Amino acid sequence: MATAGLLRIAARNLRRNLRRTLITGFAISGGLGLMIWTDNLSEGTYSGLIRRGVSEQAGHVVIQADGYQSDPDMHRLVEGAHAVEQTVEQAVRTVAPDARVVSRVTVQGLLQSARNTSGVALLGIDPEQEATISTWHQKVVEGGEWLTKGDDRSVILGEKLAETLEVEPGDKVVLMAQGEDEVVSRLFRVRGLLRTGVAGIDGFMALTTLGAAQGALEREDAATMVTVHLSDPTMVPLAVSTISAAVPTDRLEVLPWQEALPEMYQFTVMDRNSARAMFFVIGVIVAMGVLNTVLMSVMERVREFGVMLALGTRPSQVFRVILLEGVLLGAIGALFGLLMGALATWPAMTYGIDYAAMMGDNVDVGGVTVDAIVYSKWNWPGTAAFCLMAWLMTILSTVWPAWHAARLEPVQAMRRT
């Protein structure tokens, strides 16, 4: 009953100086809206980065020869890759029926044209399967063609690599790589050029069929890695444990993408943490503003609090009146902040934000291209946490003024003008 009376006074006090309440509320909701918008944009960036990294560099789960992660020697291979692929596929589909499993072979070597020579990282893939997983096939420059299965004499070169070698689609190049025992050379015809925007890929990478890469290593049924691609990334831990139970872990290591692509994972973790630190600073600045406003408003009402205390209101009830003002102000600020965050996020989710002009050619994280157009993605737990934080910090910033008011002596307080 008394709480209803205190709530009424708190609400009226907020309405009494509406302009001040609106300015304070706007500071809270503006800060919160900015946090929500930024967090959702970061979430979209991480999501795109992880999606690309997972599809092009590894998989949600990677199976490779034991020790490859710490020492990526190209001859440290998954033996009997076809059988491993089948075993993995069978196992993972018990927990993720739409999972896709592909093998990849990486060969380090030299690529020679009629005019020049360059180091190359040749990636052997299954062209048909790969086209359903990664976006390599969409990045073949006009005039070239994507690989076809069984065409073991074709290669797609990174655009900058082709420039170095001074070749174009239709030209021939020779790969020299360390085979099982001796140097192996293979002749390829350039089928197309790849433009990703990542210097490390465009300048040194080439794609060919799985069979061709295996041939270059003189290892018919071997792969550098067997990769698993899931439609639901939250299934990764379950998939890892399921696959680990199905494959011989004494000679194979089963890694989640976070371990297979540590540089990229660390980037997302660090970036997220630095963003959270920045959000905390924004929160503290807004809370200081709220504290200042509430303190000012308490100082203006000392006489009123004196009257309330004289009439028999307990100090704890005076404390609650001011705390309730914080509860209401924080709730209004959080609500409008959520609305502002949602309104700002919506266009960034629908149309994306085009960073092309700012990014130039070399924006990548751990060899993964950052999309030129970034689409925001709702991070609901983050949004809920920010709203709760804004609300709690507003309430917290009223504690000191409330404590000050509760300690007033009624006689002295009523003398104030």
Partner 1 sequence: MATPIVSVRDLKRTYQQGQIEVHALRGVDLEIGAGEFTALMGPSGSGKTTLLNQIGALDSPSSGSVMVGGEELSGMDKSARSDLRLNRIGFVFQAYNLIPVLSAYENAEFVLMMRGVSEKDRRERVMATLAAVGLEGMEHRLPGELSGGQQQRVAVARAIVGQPALVLADEPTANLDSKTGNDLIDLMRRLNADQGVTFVFATHDPKVMEAARRVVSLVDGRIESDQHK
β-pair partners for 34: none
**Near partner 1 in 1-30, by CB under 8 A:** 1-2, 4-5, 8-9, 12-13, 15-16
Residue 54's closest CA among 233, 181, 174, 220?
233
Q: How far is the CB of 316 from partner 1 (least distance, A)?
A: 8
Can you count the helices (H) and strands (E) in the chain? 16, 15
In angstroms, what is the minimal distance from the CB of 416 to partner 1? Answer: 11
Of 13 and 209, which CB lies nearer to partner 1 in the complex structure? 13
Residue type for 180, please? E
- Regarding 308 and contact with partner 1 (CB under 8 A), the answer is yes
Angle, to 10 degrees, between the axis of helix 262-300 and the axis of helix 18-56? Answer: 180
Of 97, 312, 360, 381, the residue at the interface with partner 1 (CB under 8 A) is 312
- Taking the complex as a whole, the smallest distance from the CB of residue 408 to partner 1 amounts, in Å, to 11
User: How many residues of this chain interact with partner 1, rule: CB under 8 A?
Assistant: 26
Q: Which of 106, 313, 345, 397 binds partner 1 (CB under 8 A)?
A: 313
- Distance in Å, CB of 32 to partner 1, minimum: 27
Write the CB contacts of 228 (distance below 8 Å, at least 6 apart in sequence).
59, 60, 61, 62, 63, 88, 92, 99, 100, 101, 239, 243
Nearer Cβ to partner 1 (56/325): 325
Name residue 110's beta-bridge partners: 119, 176
Is 317 among the residues that bind partner 1 (CB under 8 A)?
A: yes
In the complex, least distance from residue 313 CB atom to partner 1, rounded to whole angstroms: 6
Closest to 302 (Cα-Cα) out of 381, 204, 383, 405: 405
Euclidean distance between CA atoms 224 and 73, whole angstroms: 9
- Concatenating the DSSP letter of every residue in 275-295 gives HHHHHHHHHHHHHHHHHHHHH
Work out whether 363 is an interface residue with partner 1 (CB under 8 A).
no
Cα–Cα dist 306/308, whole Å: 5
C-alpha separations of 236 from 87, 103, 142, 149, 301 in Å:
17, 18, 36, 29, 58
Select from 22, 310, 356, 388 the one that contacts partner 1 (CB under 8 A). Answer: 310
How many CB atoms within 10 Å of residue 14? Answer: 21
Contacts of partner 1 in 378-417 (CB under 8 A)? 410-411, 414
Q: Which of 94, 273, 316, 362 binds partner 1 (CB under 8 A)?
A: 316
CB of 318 to partner 1, least distance (A): 10
Residue 304 lies near partner 1 (rule: CB under 8 A): yes
Query: Between residues 1 and 358, which has the closer beta carbon with respect to partner 1?
Result: 1
Of positions 311, 350, 358, 360, contacts partner 1 by CB under 8 A? 311
Rounded to 10 deg, the angle between the 302-310 and 315-350 helix axes is 130
- When binding is defined by CB under 8 A, the residue of 276, 303, 404, 416 that contacts partner 1 is 303
Which residue, 288 or 310, is less far from partner 1 as judged by CB? 310
- Which residue from 231, 314, 356, 384 is in contact with partner 1, where contact means CB under 8 A? 314
Residue 188 near residue 154, CB atoms below 8 Å = yes
In the block, tokens 């500071």 appear at 27
State the minimum distance, in angstroms, from the CB of residue 411 to partner 1.
5
Q: Applying CB under 8 A, which part among 63-71, 77-85, 311-319, 339-347 lies near partner 1? A: 311-319
Which bin fits 101, alpha (ψ -120 to 50), beta or left (φ > 0)? beta
Residue 326 vs 341, nearer CB to partner 1: 326
**Which residues touch 160 (CB under 8 Å, ≥6 apart)?**
199, 202, 203
- Contact positions toward partner 1, by CB under 8 A? 1-2, 4-5, 8-9, 12-13, 15-16, 303-304, 307-317, 410-411, 414
